[in-house]
Structures are given as structure tokens and as C-alpha cells.
Structure 1
């Protein structure tokens, strides 16, 4: 299929060099308003008939070629469609192996019918609202929809540069082979599917954390590799806090190079330990605002995706001044979602009753029996208010995977050998590769859990955890077996704040 090629770029001076380059290559170039891409395309095609078939490709997506467009065109015509796109998981192809096709008459009608900035910038939203999102799915079984092949930041540029490296004829190289070359590239997914329920815990990245942690805090480069590989593998949340040493700054630095927005960052308010017990509302506000602005500075952002109380008591402490201040800041747009990090069932019950709470983080693991009576209330809050539930301490700060009885005794367990033996025997019985896999898959079996917070000190640990998230949760009968026969730990052992130092 022969197609006319036309580049429609802006009339801004910053695009002068691009326009000259395109025209020197013998390609037609049309220039128009920066913020109205739809008008640019429609005016650029002013001399064409309404029944012209228009492909739209963006310059940050460099892999699609004529062969792929031919396949799109054949399906578009054969199915008598008004709109067809190729992109992401519905197509089974990486984000950035993207193209859209529609009729010129629909683009002209869209320009006459909408003035919404989003519609004008992204060209086809109005068309898609009229005719629906139709996806090219010939390669859906390829399962590469969670890979990335677009160029939005420097890391993307390096990744795309690498897949073209050493090719004798890159222009005519098969698009499919380029897609295959993404495998194993830096920051590309390391799992078979997106690990969307993985919440990356970052306490280990900013301080020495965990009873079984012998490696210490990773280097900034290692921390960056962990965060970016996790995001590239589909993790949608990073968990940090003012109290996690340098964690917020580590996260902020790692995402400053064009990665903002690719994952939600959850941080936590300072514990406010220095705020006087009888402080006035004005003084409390000063402490709260200081914590939030320090978080925003470290995270290099002017608004927070989610902010949790690090102490659930701050819902009511100082006559509710802390929570009142946070609700006001949320209404002003400084914070998107408010939530609470709870320690006990009593704190969870109180937090579930607060209408403004949109996210709750709670400790939960395979040996934790304390929460059973609250599961119904959790489900109600999720169904009625959309409350998101994340669980942490799925490995009880590393204790559950420790084979050292002394560490268990430090945590208050008088018979550690029995616990260690039960965990190992159960992992083998349920065909889990490790106790860590057993513990994580137990949490993944709980439908009320939206995300599991996992901390890691190395890329190797990240890959091991992603391999576990690639698997499904345990079966219901396996969960019942566990809950009938697991060791009964004392509440002291279930609460790390009560462990011996």
C-alpha cells in the first residue's frame, strides 16, 4: 500500500530545525498551533477528500513500519470500521508500537464539534467516543502489552537506541524483530505480566530496615535500578514516609529524570513527635505543613499522590487539628488521596469509619490472625467508597523467612523452631519455591487486598518477588488449610514495635 507521508508539527520556533530537516528529506511538512494537534492535522489534509483513510503516528513511537500499517489497513477495511488503533495490552504489543487509523471526514467533524483541550491535543478522543475503541488484536497472544517502546524521557531514548544498535539497515528492519529485542533491555518488564499488585516498599532504600536485613542500605544507583525496574514491570505504587530516613529523597531523585506519573507515590506524615501535647491549632498546622512541604521538596513535586497518617491516633489528637488541616489541603489540591497507616484492628475499625479516608495500609501476613472479624467491613468500604487496601509486613519485616531462632526469640516467640519448621513444611506441601513465595501468595489469595508492600535491597530480590507475583494466589482450599493449622503467635510477636532491641 502506498501512502502519502506528511509531518504536522507546531509553528513554535523550537520546531524550526525539525521542519527544515523534514523538508530537506523531501517530506511535506505542515505547521500549526502547538496546542491544537487536531486542527494541524485537519488543515494539513485540506486538499484531500472526506473518504481519505488517515493513519496517525506520533514521533515518539519509532517502531511501527509499513508492514504493520498494511495489516492495520486490511483489518480496518475488511471489518468496515470507522476507527482502529494498535497499542498496549489490548493489542498485545508494547506501549509505543502505536498507530491509529480513521476516515478524514471523522477528524473534520471532530474539529467542528469539540473545543475540549484534551480532544484537540490527542486528536482522536471525539472519534473514539462516537465509534468506540476498536483494537487491532492480531498479536494479542504475543503478550508484550506491558513493555515500553516509546520515547518520553532519556531512559526511554537509551532503551530504544539499544534495540536499533548494530542493525545494518535499521529503517527496513522488521518491526516484530525490534519488539523482540526489547526483552532483557534495561527497565523493561522482568515478568510475564504486569505486577500491578506489587507496592514497592522503600524504607530499605533510605535506612537500615528489617530484623533480617544484613545487606544494609543499597547505593543510590542500585535503589534507582530497583525503582525503575519495578515501575517498568507494572508496579503502580511506591511507598515511602518522612520517617524512612532518606527514602523520600531517594525516590524523588530516581524519578526526576522523566519518570514522574508512571507510578503513584504514597508518603506518610511525620510522626509529629516534637509537636507539643497541648499545641494550639496554629502550631499543629505549622508542624503538619512543614512535614508535607518537606515531603514535596524531597519528592520534587508540587502535589502529593497520597498521604497517610503514620499514626492513626492523629485522626483525633489535638482535637482533630491534624486531620482537619489535611482535609483542607486535599480540598486545595495539594493532596490527591488521604489515608491512614494502621497498627491494630482497633485503628483499622476507626479508620474505616472516616469518610475522607481513601487508602489504608495495614500489617498482614500468613500467621496474623487478628483481623478476621473486620473483613466484612473492609469489603463494604471497598465496595461503597472505593477505599484501597494495601498490606505491609507480609514477611513480618523479614522474620518469617529467617531460619535463625535467636531472631524469633528477639521478637518474643518462645518456640521458634516449631514456627520455622511449619513454614518450611507448608511451603513444600503447597509446592511453593520458598517461604517468601508462600507468604506473598497467601496475601495475593485475598481478594480484598489491592496491593502488597514489599521492600527489597537488591535487583535480584526484586526479580525473585516479581516471579512470585507472576503466579496466582494460593487456592481457597490451601488458604483454609493454612488458617486451620498455622501456629498461633502472641500479639507481642505480631507487633514489631514490641520486639526486643
Structure 2
């Protein structure tokens, strides 16, 4: 049976906080339960959350206790480690974060647990890695891994032999991951699950506009909008469909996490997933019509405040 949503991970960052440039409030508990019920019906791959996502884990736990979403695998991230964590003990901090996650989600086992930052792999001589390995040995998690931000961090993560899950940003303007060296490194680790985030680049690719586009980033909003509009007219896909289809077309990407805040939004995204990958020819046309993004476009951490925020 075809399961078009089987590569869709429900992003739950918005479940527990206002998130992204939209600033929209978190969904209610009833809305979260509706989202997770539909995610189970669609056979989505997982729900993705983190200790750092406000009330997200607890919102998922409340939905699960109400009978919604219990069959959906949960992926979470350890609270980002700090110098203070190192003083108290990295292994202690990791165990505490994991214990909190299990309690809030209402589970005895998590599908995958990630370090929120690649730098945490190195802290205290790899103490966090040791803690996650021990938790896996005790049956608390299926896989462990890390969220990375750039190809150098990816290379560092792939060098850890038993690491099994990596989340990274990827979209139509982020070509950093398509170089031969990155692709060779990925091909050498077929045992690692690769999940792409930021397919819509925090939503700005869905409606490229100067008001939300990072100042001075290249290509500019008008150029990206014109290229996406032309491709949408030629392929019959929406901007969202083009972004998702491009990510799904990458053979090295196992799944795509998309932030969701309503049942209707999940249904729409699932419909776009059902359209499948873009043909290779359309991917090449997209790459030819939209130049690779500059660092200050593909890395939201480098974005300056929006125009209205700085006035």
C-alpha cells in the first residue's frame, strides 16, 4: 500500500510556543490532539520535538494521555548543553533532560533522541555520547544522533561510528549539501537516517517578499518568487509543493520534518507529499533558475531583525 506521508515528520516546535517569523500562538491541546490523530491516520514517520521547544513535549504528552497520537514515534532533542552543564556533569545533564522528556511525553521509550547542537558531541570528552549510548543500552531510546547546521558539523557527526540519526537544514536555495565531498560522506554512512528540516526556510519560501526576506541576502525575494511562480505554472505545483518535491527528490534524504500548527495544515502538507518527488529534470531547472543562496540567506542564525523590528 502506498503511504505518501511515510516520509513526513510532524514538526512540533509550534506546539509549545510562538515560533518562526509568523509569531502565531501555539495550538490548543484540542488542536494538538487533532493533529496527532491525523498524523497516525496518515502513517507519518514521527513527531519531532525538543526539551527547548517550550511546552511542546508536554502538549504531546497531554494528547497521548487523551488517546491521540500514541502510535506515532517520537523524536526529541536533549536540552542544549552549556558551560554550566559541564560544571554539574554532562552525563547528569543528559540523563536529566532525557528523564524529563520521557515524563512529559508520557512514554517509556523514544524512537530517537538527538543532541540539539553539534558542539555537544565534544563536551567533556564525549560525555553526552556516553550517556546516550547508555540510555540506548537500557532500552530508553531506539537511535541517538544530533541536529547539525552546516556541512562541517555533518562531517563531525558522521565520524561517530554508532550515531544513527542526523537532522539538517535543506531547501531549494541551500546547496551546501550537494557538493561531491558531502555526498561522498553521506554515501559512506547508509546506516544513518537523514531528516531534512527548513524545507520552507522558516516559511519565507512560501511567499517570498521583501518584508520578510533577510536584508541584502542573495538571491533576493523578487528573483526567487519569479522563479517559483514560473515553475509552479509549468508543473501545476504550489510553492510548498515545489519546495517539498525538491527535498523528497534527494535520494540521501530519508524524511522531511515540517512544522505543523493545525489539522488543516497537516492535511495540506500530506496532499503535497502525495504528489511525490519532483522529476530530476525539474530539480535541475529549479537549480538553474534560482541561484544558490548566500550564507546570510540559508542560515537563519545570521538573519538581522526584520525591518519593522528595527524601527
Query: What is the TM-score normalised by the length of structure 2?
Result: 0.91
CA distance in 1, matches of 2:196, 2:220: 26
**Residue from 51, 60, 64 that aligns with 1:255:** 64
Match of 1:195 in 2: 5
> 4+ residue runs of structure 1 moved beyond 6 angstroms?
none
Match of 2:17 in 1: 207
Higher relative CO (Cα under 8 Å, sequence separation at least 6) belongs to 2
CA distance in 2, matches of 1:276, 1:340: 18
Match of 1:105 in 2: none
* Offset, 1:412: 3.8
Deviations 1:176-195 (A, max 9, x none): xxxxxxxxxxxxxxxx8441
Tell me if structure 2 keeps the 8 A contact 1:275–1:284: no
Specify every segment of 5 or more residues in structure 1 that has no aligned partner in the other structure, as ranges: 1-88, 90-191
Deviations 1:126-148 (A, max 9, x none): xxxxxxxxxxxxxxxxxxxxxxx
**Residue from 182, 185, 201 that aligns with 1:396:** 201
Match of 2:147 in 1: 341
* Offset, 1:416: 2.2
**Residue from 465, 475, 489 that aligns with 2:269:** 465
Aligned length: 303
Match status 1:230 vs 2:39: yes
* Offset, 1:363: 0.4
Match of 2:183 in 1: 375
Query: What is the TM-score normalised by the length of structure 1?
Result: 0.58
Deviations 1:466-485 (A, max 9, x none): 11111121111111222233
CA distance in 2, matches of 1:238, 1:414: 32
Which structure would you say has the larger Rg?
A: 1
Match status 1:448 vs 2:258: no
Tell me if structure 2 keeps the 8 A contact 1:388–1:450: yes
CA distance in 2, matches of 1:402, 1:206: 25
Tell me if structure 1 keeps the 8 A contact 2:33–2:69: no
Match of 1:285 in 2: 91
* Offset, 1:219: 1.3
Specify every segment of 5 or more residues in structure 2 that has no aligned partner in the other structure, as ranges: 306-311
Deviations 1:406-464 (A, max 9, x none): 210358457322222222222222221x1111100111111221111011222221111
* Offset, 1:273: 3.2
CA distance in 1, matches of 2:65, 2:192: 29
Match of 1:500 in 2: 304
CA distance in 2, matches of 1:470, 1:284: 43
SS at match of 2:108: coil
SS at match of 1:452: strand
SS at match of 1:244: coil
